[in-house]
Amino acid sequence: MNYRHAFHAGNFADCVKHALLVALVSALCRKPAPFAVLDTHAGRGRYDLSAEAAGRTGEWRAGIGRLCGIGEGPLSPWLGLVRAAGFPPLYPGSPLLLRALLREQDRLILCEKHPEEAAALRAAMGRDRRVAVHERDGWEAIGALTPFAERRGLVLIDPPFEQPGEFARIAGAFRLLRRRFRAAVAAAWYPLKHRAPLREFEELLREAGLTDIVAAELTLREPTDPARLNGCGMVVMNPPFGFGGEAQAILDALLPRLAQQEPGAGAEVRVVADE
């Protein structure tokens, strides 16, 4: 539990994750029926990019720092929420973005295991009857808190990838959700350092018989150096109708701003397992 997202908030990987997340939840909002969202690894909710932690790495400068001027196009729904949350210097994490998209009838469940992060998250969320903050293990919460009474919604899995076995845990969570909560949209962020672990992960999903899975991925450079974050992606089971096209447009808009024309840079949405 050494990971602190404050050092990385607003970096290119957050931009990819958050822009795609807004597209996923906006798709759920197209139907009036209520939905719930479970954010299993919620973080502290809001990050001050002028604070010491963000300044020490400066990662946000190569992420949200390059996107400030954009006012239209596929990134604008997310960037509008970023500005509304007080950027700059405040940057909204997944909990604040998700809450901004909730309607009166929807619900948000946030899990954060680190006590200090969970306390900061509680403070950032304030009082909102639609939102529940839990200081608890997000993996365990997937089994305990699904299926949702609403029978529709999203489970977002965004672990720190500090420990080995995170890909296998995501595959396990997807299997569980498919069994218990067939209608759930499940989305998990993943780092792309080199291709081998990702290939194994995708194989694991297919071997488990899971279907209807896509991966939306942005690569900064050829992923050959396992010590560097060379790209990242979001794997989505049961993607909403039209998500593939929207995700590709989002990644295409991010790529020229976030990547530095290194060999192997690219943006793609690919089918991991057929419908």
Question: Would you name the residues annotated as active-site residues?
Answer: 158
User: Could you say whether residue 191 binds ligand SAM (CB under 6 A)?
Assistant: no
Shortest separation between residue 45's beta carbon and ligand SAM, angstroms: 7
Write out the E strands in 24-89: 36-39, 46-48
Shortest separation between residue 24's beta carbon and ligand SAM, angstroms: 13
Cβ neighbours, 10 Å, residue 201: 19
| Residue that is written with structure tokens 């007080």 in the block | 86
Alpha-carbon distance of 204 to 194, in angstroms, equals 17
User: Could you say whether residue 138 binds ligand SAM (CB under 6 A)?
Assistant: yes
Give the pair of three-digit tokens for residue 175: 């299997």
Site size for ligand SAM, by CB under 6 A?
A: 18
Helix (H, G, I), strand (E, B) or coil at 231: strand
Give the pair of three-digit tokens for residue 220: 């900064």
String of contacts with ligand SAM for each residue 9-48, x by CB under 6 A: --------x-----------------------xxx-----
Choice from 77, 88, 160, 172 touching ligand SAM (CB under 6 A): 160
User: Could you say whether residue 111 binds ligand SAM (CB under 6 A)?
Assistant: yes
Relative orientation angle of helices 94-101 and 76-84, to the nearest 10 degrees:
100
User: Could you say whether residue 135 binds ligand SAM (CB under 6 A)?
Assistant: no
CA angle 105, 95, 33 (to 5 degrees): 20
* φ, ψ for residue 271, nearest 5 deg: -80, 125
> Which stretch, 63-71, 110-118, 211-219, 224-232, contacts ligand SAM (CB under 6 A)?
110-118
User: Could you say whether residue 170 binds ligand SAM (CB under 6 A)?
Assistant: no
Under the rule (CB under 6 A), what is the footprint of ligand SAM? 3, 5, 17, 41-43, 93-94, 111-114, 117, 137-139, 158, 160
